[in-house]
């Protein structure tokens, strides 16, 4: 196991795609220390920015102890192994991840899990905007895997989702959750903000708390007593089931808790 500790508080973004179990595999501490990174626009080596130690055990493969909120692309494209960040993590964490596990014992920056294919990301704090979402102008959203956030998530999360599961346990989400999603599942254990599921064409969004508003391009379909989240979990309702986005000829489903959304009762006359 490799333990990384920042040697200072970073004032400029550190781009460090090399912090990846696949890259570290088979390398000595000296070889890992020589891996190239960028601090701002200056090329450095990993050893110039982090104290690097070899510890007993294979799991987790990499541990980062300290604030890594300015460290970007941790776990980029990783396929195996485990990364634990004991602090905050920067932008693009787990981007294009294809396997393994990342645990953040803090908050995570923008675009965490962008274009993710497989694996597990656990965030024991908040996630910023664009969680599991592609860059502007791209439709390459999360395709598989699982992301669990204990806290809140920012705006434009789960955009263009085409597979996998996002589970949000915090009190709130930002606007446009699940924008243009076509498959996969988003489970919001508490409250969802406006523009929920805008332009979605498939998949499902389950809100066990309150829905700030239901877009007019969704139509009520039924009331269900429960809904399956994944193979291991079922959310207990009852839930209003809305279909849409009809503006996109969509077949997506939004499940909104009936007890927690008395504002949606007026839709019942259309059942």
Q: What is the DSSP string of 149-194?
A: ESS-B-SSTTTT-EEEEEEE-SS---TTTTTT--EEEEEESS-B-S
Q: pLDDT-derived band of residue 140, with 50, 70 and 90 as boundaries?
A: very high
Q: Are strands 162-168 and 146-149 parallel, antiparallel or unpaired?
A: parallel
User: Among the listed ranges 56-70, 77-91, 152-166, 242-256, which one has the minimum average pLDDT value?
Assistant: 56-70
Nearest of 199, 196, 200, 190 to residue 213 by alpha carbon: 196
Nearest-angstrom CA–CA distance, 177 and 158: 6
N residues, the chain: 271
Looking at CATH, the fold of the domain delimited by 10-18+56-270 is given as Pectate Lyase C-like (2.160.20)
- Encode pLDDT of 235-262 as tens digits: 999 999 999 999 999 999 999 999 999 9
**Has residue 54 got a pLDDT over 80?**
yes
Give pTM, 2 decimals: 0.97
- Encode pLDDT of 1-48 as tens digits: 999 999 999 999 999 999 999 999 999 999 999 999 999 999 999 999
Helix H or strand E encompassing 221: strand 219-230
């Amino acid at each position: 196991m490799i333990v990384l500790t920042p040697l200072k508080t970073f004032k400029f973004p550190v781009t460090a795609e090399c912090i990846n179990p696949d890259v570290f595999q088979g390398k000595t501490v000296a070889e890992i220390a020589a891996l190239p990174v960028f601090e701002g626009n200056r090329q450095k080596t990993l050893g110039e920015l982090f104290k690097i130690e070899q510890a007993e055990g294979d799991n987790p493969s990499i541990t980062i102890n300290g604030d890594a909120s300015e460290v970007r692309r941790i776990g980029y494209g990783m396929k195996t192994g485990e990364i634990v960040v004991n602090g905050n993590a920067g932008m693009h964490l787990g981007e294009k991840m294809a396997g393994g596990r990342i645990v953040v014992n803090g908050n995570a920056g923008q675009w965490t899990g962008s274009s993710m294919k497989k694996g597990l990301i656990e965030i024991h704090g908040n996630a910023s905007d664009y969680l599991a979402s592609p860059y502007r102008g791209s439709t390459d959203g999360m395709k598989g895997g699982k992301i669990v956030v204990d806290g809140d998530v920012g705006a434009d999360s789960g955009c263009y989702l085409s597979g996998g599961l996002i589970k949000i346990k915090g009190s709130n989400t930002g606007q446009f959750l699940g924008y243009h999603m076509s498959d996969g599942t988003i489970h919001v254990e508490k409250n969802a903000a406006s523009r929920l599921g805008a332009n979605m064409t498939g998949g499902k969004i389950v809100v066990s708390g309150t829905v700030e508003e239901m877009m007019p391009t969704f139509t009520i379909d039924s009331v269900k007593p429960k809904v399956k989240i994944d193979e291991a979990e079922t959310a207990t309702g009852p839930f209003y089931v809305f279909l849409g986005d009809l503006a996109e000829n969509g077949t997506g489903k939004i499940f909104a808790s009936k007890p927690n959304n008395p504002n949606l009762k007026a839709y019942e006359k259309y059942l």
